[in-house]
Chains A and B, each alone.
Chain A
Amino acid sequence: KNEVEQSPQNLTAQEGEFITINCSYSVGISALHWLQQHPGGGIVSLFMLSSGKKKHGRLIATINIQEKHSSLHITASHPRDSAVYICAVRGSSGDKLTFGTGTRLAVRP
């Protein structure tokens, strides 16, 4: 079993829909990252969380440390949100990230 599991693996939505991507992990962590990878291949860090909730624009990320679970929400989705979203956890030592395999999101106009 992978240390970081994401669901769903693939997601198709209509423009304007509310989207949720889930991440579960099985190890102790010091932080959790949400990353975005566009079709061109570049990877951008969206959020770093160690507790609670963070919001930036239409993106919201939450984490429940006790349940070892995080969610990434996109409100009012847009075709430009189409990308692969990757969850990664930073171990308790703080040095290294372990990555999920990503959720491929396609938002149709």
Chain B
Amino acid sequence: NAGVTQTPKFQVLKTGQSMTLQCAQDMNHNSMYWYRQDPGMGLRLIYYSASEGTTDKGEVPNGYNVSRLNKREFSLRLESAAPSQTSVYFCASHGGSSGRREQYFGPGTRLTVT
């Protein structure tokens, strides 16, 4: 099991450029999430997908779009990057089954927009 994988790990963009962050999980989880983490603030939800074919806005969706391509993959797109989107982005999945660990996170993508 690879768990939750994300690509790329690092990215530098110029203002106005676009890019897509990729996320995949191999645990057959229904729910997937995109968060951003900024210094001094907790993780904030950008978008989430409760199941294949559905997506919903989170706390900070402006400037982002998502696509739940299939049960495994959930991508995050920045159409026109802005310096305010400089952050660390985490993808996560949730399986809903019992056990000590239930929320699984990807390794993160460190994005800098200049």
Residue contact A42 to B107, C-beta cutoff 8 Å: yes
Q: Map CB proximity to B onto A78-105 as digits: 1 under 8 Å, 0 otherwise.
A: 0000000010100000111111111000
Q: How many A-B residue pairs have CB under 8 A?
A: 60
Interface centre among A2, A4, A96 (most CB of B within 10 A): A96
Bound CA–CA A46/B99 (angstroms): 10
Residue contact A54 to B100, C-beta cutoff 8 Å: yes
Name the B residues within 8 Å of A35 (CB-CB). 103, 105
Q: How far is the CB of B33 from chain A (nearest CB, A)?
A: 8
Residue contact A102 to B42, C-beta cutoff 8 Å: yes
Whether A45 contacts B104 in the complex (CB less than 8 A), given A95-B50, A96-B58, comes out as yes
Residue contact A33 to B103, C-beta cutoff 8 Å: yes
Q: Map CB proximity to B onto A9-49 as digits: 1 under 8 Å, 0 otherwise.
A: 00000000000000000000000010100000111111110
B40 located at the interface, meaning its Cβ lies under 8 Å from any Cβ of chain A in the complex:
yes
Q: How far is the CB of A41 from chain B (nearest CB, A)?
A: 5
B45 located at the interface, meaning its Cβ lies under 8 Å from any Cβ of chain A in the complex:
yes
Residue contact B103 to A48, C-beta cutoff 8 Å: yes
Residue contact B105 to A44, C-beta cutoff 8 Å: yes
Name the B residues within 8 Å of A99 (CB-CB). 42-44
Name the prevailing secondary structure of the A interface residues.
Answer: strand
Residue contact B100 to A42, C-beta cutoff 8 Å: no
Residue contact A86 to B102, C-beta cutoff 8 Å: no
Interface residues of A (CB under 8 A from B): 2, 4, 33, 35, 41-48, 54, 56, 86, 88, 94-102
Q: How far is the CB of A73 from chain B (nearest CB, A)?
A: 16
Whether A101 contacts B41 in the complex (CB less than 8 A), given A33-B102, A43-B105, A45-B104, comes out as yes
Whether A42 contacts B105 in the complex (CB less than 8 A), given A4-B42, A96-B58, comes out as yes
Residue contact B105 to A96, C-beta cutoff 8 Å: no
Bound CA–CA A102/B38 (angstroms): 12
Whether A45 contacts B90 in the complex (CB less than 8 A), given A101-B40, A101-B41, comes out as no
Give the contacting residue for A45; candidates B43, B50, B103; CB below 8 A. Answer: B103
Residue contact B102 to A45, C-beta cutoff 8 Å: yes
